[in-house]
Amino acid sequence: MIWLYVDTRDTGRIAELSVGTFWLVLPTLPMFLVLPALLKAGVGFYESLALSIVVMVACYAIAVPILARFGITI
C-alpha cells in the first residue's frame, strides 16, 4: 500500500486495494481449516494440500458471483 501511495498519491486506489484484499482473503480461510483437519485424519500431505486447494477454489467460485451481486468486484 505504501508503494502504491508513493507512486500514485491516490487514496481512492488505496481504499479499493484494502477492500479488495479483505474480500480476497475470506474465500481462502476454509483452506486453513481443511488442511490441518485432513492431516490430523491421517491423509497424506500432498493429498491434503490438493483437497484444501480444491475447497479454496470452490469457495472462490461461490464467493465471486455472490459478491458481484452486491457490486463488489475482485
Task: Give the per-residue pLDDT at 20.
Answer: 84
pLDDT block averages, 10 residues each, the chain of length 74: 90 89 92 97 97 96 91 76
Task: Give the per-residue pLDDT at 17.
Answer: 87
32 residue type, one letter: F
CA separation for the pair 35, 33 (Å, rounded):
6
Q: Dig out the grid coordinates for 9 from the structure.
A: 498519491
CA separation for the pair 25, 47 (Å, rounded):
23
